[in-house]
Structures are given as C-alpha cells and as structure tokens.
Amino acid sequence: MRSRGEISSFLHELPAAAKLLVLAGAGTGLVLVGSLPVLAGAFLATLLLYWLAGISRRQAFQQLRPLLWLLVLLFIVQGVWQSWELGALVVLRISTLILLAAFVTLTTRTDALIAAVESALTPFRRFGVNPAKVGLAFSLALRFIPVIAQQANDIRDAQRARGLGANPVALALPLIVRTLRMASDVADAIDARSPYSDHSGDEGELPPRFVLQPNTSNARMSCNDAEPQLKT
Amino acid sequence: MMTTIEIRAVHQRFETFEALKGIDLTLNEKRIGIVGSNGSGKSTFARLLNGLLIPTSGQVLVDGLDTAKSGKAVRRKVGFVFQNPDNQIVFPIVEEDVAFGLKGLKLPAAQRGALVEEVLDRYGLGPFRSHPSHTLSGGQKQLLALAGVLITRPDCVVFDEPTTLLDLRNARRVAKVIAEMEETVIVVTHDLPLLQSFDRVIVFDQGRVIADDEPNSALARYVERMQ
C-alpha cells in the first residue's frame, strides 16, 4: 500500500477502478494465453510498470518471496511430469499475476480501492449485497494480514522457546483461537468507533460538533517532547 | 461539555458468573479512575458506559440516554479506547483509519481531510499519516487508537488499561496525553500513579464497589485490600 516517502508517479494517480479493471482483464488474458514468449513479454512489461512507478527491485521481489517455494515446486512438478516449457509457462503466469495484483495495491490508496469496490458492487444492492460491508471486509483483510502474520511468528517463537518443533497443528490451533478472540474485539471496536454509520453506505447530515475549530490550547501537545519513531 | 453517567442497580451476568453485583453510581467528574484486581469487574463496568455491553438488569444512562435503547447516540457522546490498539485499528493506513470514525457523515473531502489532519497533528502523528498502521510503535498505535476515537468528537472517553501493553516511555507519553485531554476521561487501569491527579477513584472487588473517594484515600484502600 502507498506510504509517504514513496515516489508518486502518473501510475499512482490513475483511478483505482481503472487499475482494478485492467487487473481483471490482464488476469483473464494471462490465464487464456498459452504462449511462452507472450507470457515472458507480459512478465517483462509488469517489471517495466514497477520501474515506471519508481518501485525498487527489492520491493518487487518482496511481493514474490512468500510464494517462491511454491513457484519452484510448481516448476519442478510440471517439468518432471509434463514439460519444462509448461513449467516455465505456469511459473511466469502466476508470477505476473502476483506482481500485477501487488502493483495495484502498491500504487493505490486503500480507501480509493475500497471506494472502487463499493461502487462496483452498488448494482448488486437489489440482490441484498451491502457494498459498504464488503468494502469494510476488504479493508479488514488488508489490515489484519500483517497482524495475523505477526501472531503466527509470536506463536512459533513461543513454541521454539519451549522446545517444540515445527508442527502445523500446534501452530494452527492457537492461531485460530487468538484470531477468533481478536475478531470479537475488532467487531466491538468497529461498533464503538463508527457512531455515525450503520454500515449501509448511507450518509447523514453533519452534527454541529463537527464544525472545524481553530487550534485549541492543547493542540499539538503530545509527542513533540518525544519525537515519534517508527518501529524498526 | 461535561457528561453525566448514571448507573442504576446494575447487575451483569455471563452465564453463571456474576461480574457486577448491584452497582449504583453517578459519574460527573472530569477525571475518574477505576481500579481493581483481575476479574473484579472493572473492564465489564467500562464496557457498560458506552453501550458495548447492555446490563443484564438495571440501567446505564448517559446524559439521560439509556444505553440499552440509544446505543449509537450514546457512542457519539462516549468514546472507548481498547486495551490492545491492534484490535481497534481497522484500516491499513494511518489517516484512513482515523477517517473511519467519520463514516456515515455527509462531509466534503476537504473538510474530512482537515478533521483528520487536525487530530493527527494533535497527537504528533502527522508525519505518519500515510504509513501502514502496523509499522507504528506500541505508543504510536495507542495514540492512533485515541485519535480514531477523538475524531468523532465525544464528550467523554473511556480507556480500558491504556498503558498495560506499553513500555515505560510510551506509557508516560500516553499518560501525559490523557492528563491534558479536554474531554471527560474515565480510565480503567492498574497504573496507580496515573490516577494521582484524578478527581475521583472507584475501587472494584468481586463485582462490587469497595471504595469511591479522592485518589489518596481510594488507592490506599485498594492497596490495603490487595495485601
């Protein structure tokens, strides 16, 4: 997701809806295309997009790293059982798709993405779909991926400290329990933090307390004595 | 604006466990501390104050509004800062998370941005407005959680153990912010020095109020009880 300090390019400024549409089209196209040179070209074109957007090679590689072992495994299995060409084709297709999807999130504000999703889902209101709730779910998924990953690391560390080896069940059970407990708190927090919304997407009139006041005596008071630092 | 919260004959049961046993209080001071041992009912009590929990029996009235009947209206008056800010931050980017409190309001984008900027600057989070929220330190996350509540402009803010998960430096930072807030503040905490300058401290034990006084007397009673 975009953060301050990243280079802002014309690709960053494109509308989120357009990027999502192109992503959907490219995703479909990549699945239909079976030509190795075309897929290699698509992969290179994606890397060119990263370069044009000013995203570093390291950051681009980070998008693929979590799935690297899976890509290697796929390449070997396809190569041994089918052909090495098919292996390369599958790996190129998946890598390009991942990079393209990551490119959209890296160059688009989350609220713009959510607004685009909500807008796209508006016609489905008549079938009972609540676009605002889907948008909120989308945002929560993006927000809690790093939190749950951190919890998985904490559990793994705790198990290592107690001499337990890598056991997927021993990791999954406490992680599920923690996540469910957290979900209950998050639901309460959403309720407590959005007193003006019923999550239907409708907007009400502005109450008088929202008239913007000039800085009061306690404005800018808290952290100037201790410069906030990002966690390293 | 000073908020008055009336708690009338409140009992709170969770299946067979009775967390609160007949609480009668009127809260109308600017700074109120709530202390008690683990399981004493203090966090349950805090959740009753903005309608996150509805009492099994009895009534909680915020400026005359019953939390059981007017949940949204009550939550506009009383904000709630949870113990773990990670569970309270719901958007991946700092400024987007703060803006979440404005959801449902007909606000032009410029005014929305100005309100977000005002509250972020108030807590020194301005330089991080476009950062992913998970990259903030513990203290910054707690301040972000507070900013996310204050943007809704509540008259009163309830904190559930705001310094428990923080190191000494961050705990002091958050304590300073709480001390300087203009809003009415109700703090549930184990951090007794934080309450020294408060107007009133209420001590809970086994679901009952065992002391309700100015900080020195109430805290002395609490410490005595814990020995």
Q: Give the pLDDT score at A50.
A: 93
Alpha carbon of A182: minimum distance to chain B alpha carbons (Å): 6
Distance CA A46, CA A106 (A): 13
Name the A residues in 135-194 with CB < 8 Å from any B CB.
136, 139-140, 142-143, 146-147, 150, 182, 185-186, 188-194
Question: What integer pLDDT is reported at residue A199 of this predicted model?
Answer: 66
The complex's ipTM works out to 0.85
Strands (E), A35-180: none
Tens-digit pLDDT string for chain A (232 aa): 555 445 578 888 889 899 999 999 999 999 998 899 999 999 999 999 999 998 888 888 888 887 888 899 999 999 999 899 999 999 999 999 999 999 998 898 888 888 888 888 889 888 888 888 888 888 888 888 888 888 888 888 888 888 777 777 888 899 999 999 889 889 999 989 988 877 666 677 667 666 655 554 443 333 333 333 444 3
* 8 A C-beta contact, residue B146 and residue A160: no
Instruction: For chains A and B, count residue pairs whose Cβ atoms are closer than 8 Å.
Output: 173
Would you state the CATH architecture of domain B5-226? 3-Layer(aba) Sandwich (3.40)
Tell me the shortest Cα–Cα distance from A29 to chain B, in angstroms.
30
Q: pLDDT tens for residues B35-60?
A: 999 989 999 999 999 999 999 999 99
Q: Is residue B165 pLDDT above 90, yes or no? A: no
Tokens representing A32 are: 């239909």
Quote the percentage of chain B above a pLDDT of 70.
100
pLDDT in tens, B104-142: 888 888 888 999 999 999 888 999 988 888 888 888 898
Chain B residue numbers with beta carbons less than 8 Å from the beta carbon of A223 are 123-125, 143, 173
**Would the CB atoms of B118 and A222 count as touching at under 8 Å?**
no
Q: Record the pTM.
A: 0.77
pLDDT band for position B19 (50/70/90)?
Answer: very high
**H or E element that contains B25:** strand B17-27
Residues of A in contact with B103 (CB under 8 A): 194, 196-197, 199
State how far residue A227 is from chain B, nearest Cα, in angstroms. Answer: 8
From CA A74, how far away is CA A88, in angstroms rounded?
9
- Report pLDDT for A177: 92
Which positions in chain A touch B98 (Cβ < 8 Å)?
none
Packing angle between helix A68-81 and helix A84-106, nearest 10 degrees?
160
Concatenated DSSP letters for B43-96? HHHHHHTTTSS--SEEEEEETTEETTT-HHHHHHHEEEE-S-GGGT--SSBHHH
CB contacts of B180 in chain A (<8 Å) are: 218, 221-222
All structural domains of chain A with their residue ranges: 16-108, 135-224
Contact between B18 and B68 under an 8 Å Cβ cutoff? The reply is no
Q: What is the mean pLDDT of chain B?
A: 91
Contact B92 A142 (CB under 8 A): yes
Judged by a CB distance cut-off of 8 A, whether residue B133 touches chain A is yes
Q: Which one of A4, A147, A191 has the shortest CB-CB distance to B134?
A: A147
Q: Is residue A1 a contact partner of residue B93, using CB atoms and an 8 Å limit?
A: yes
